[in-house]
Amino acid sequence: MSEIRFLEGPRSRWEEFKMTFEVMSEFIKGFRSLHFIGSAVTVFGSARFPETHPDYIKTRTLSAAIAKMGFTILTGGGPGIMEAANRGAKDVGGRSVGCNIVLPHEQEPNPYVDKSIDFKYFFVRKTLLIKYSYAFVICPGGFGTLDEFFESITLIQTKKISQFPIIIFGKDFHEHVLQHIEWMIKYKTISPEDKELFLVTDSVEEAVEHLKKHAIQRFKLKYSPITWLGEG
């Protein structure tokens, strides 16, 4: 039998070394920029909805209510649902922060962020959005939104991060995702109690009460005069 020949990867050691420092630099920039934003709630959702879309309007309303509670609204910084969330915070004088991803089609930060940080790597941005949040709101979205939802809930399920509340906002849109979760329970790839890790609702009031109980009260969050823009 002839010897197996393994496939060689496309990158040189020097390129891997350079990437390591690029990633480290992005993390350091994120740590410096987000350290002072206060207790945040991250809103995930599609970049494709115009301001007239019903989900844009609902997200703007929900985010305004969350900002009134004293939370910083944190998003991916782009258009669509992200813009709606940042805009909702601005509507009520709340804090609004965006972690924008640099894409080939040049996604620009939406105009409703007080502070915007640009990232080259999706995984760095996602890690920081999770790191600086006390709760996650999952609005209608695409592959990226589902990726963010499942990574967040996996980290909570496996106790890699605390049991921060997750709110799935939009029952009709997420119906098939919820059906798949039921199928995973039936197939025994997850446990029945894993459904307790998230709330599914269309109600702003129910979402606010859930955050009060499972974020503010659970983690004993308090109001404080914070110089939140901090270092840039």
Instruction: List, in order of start, the domains of the chain with CATH numbers.
Output: 39-217 (3.40.50.450)
* More confident call, 9 vs 227: 9
Token code pair at residue 33: 């920029």
Paired strand residues for 198: 166
Length of the chain, in residues: 232
Q: What's the pLDDT at 81?
A: 98
DSSP letter for 195, please.
G
Q: What is the pLDDT of residues 19-67, one digit of tens each?
A: 999 999 999 999 999 999 999 999 999 999 999 999 999 999 999 999 9
Q: What's the pLDDT at 232?
A: 43
DSSP letter for 14, please.
H
Token code pair at residue 68: 């009134």
Task: Round to whole Å and give the CA distance between 193 and 121.
Answer: 33
- Bridge-based pairing state of the strands 133-138 and 115-119: unpaired
Task: Round to whole Å and give the CA distance between 106 and 117.
Answer: 14
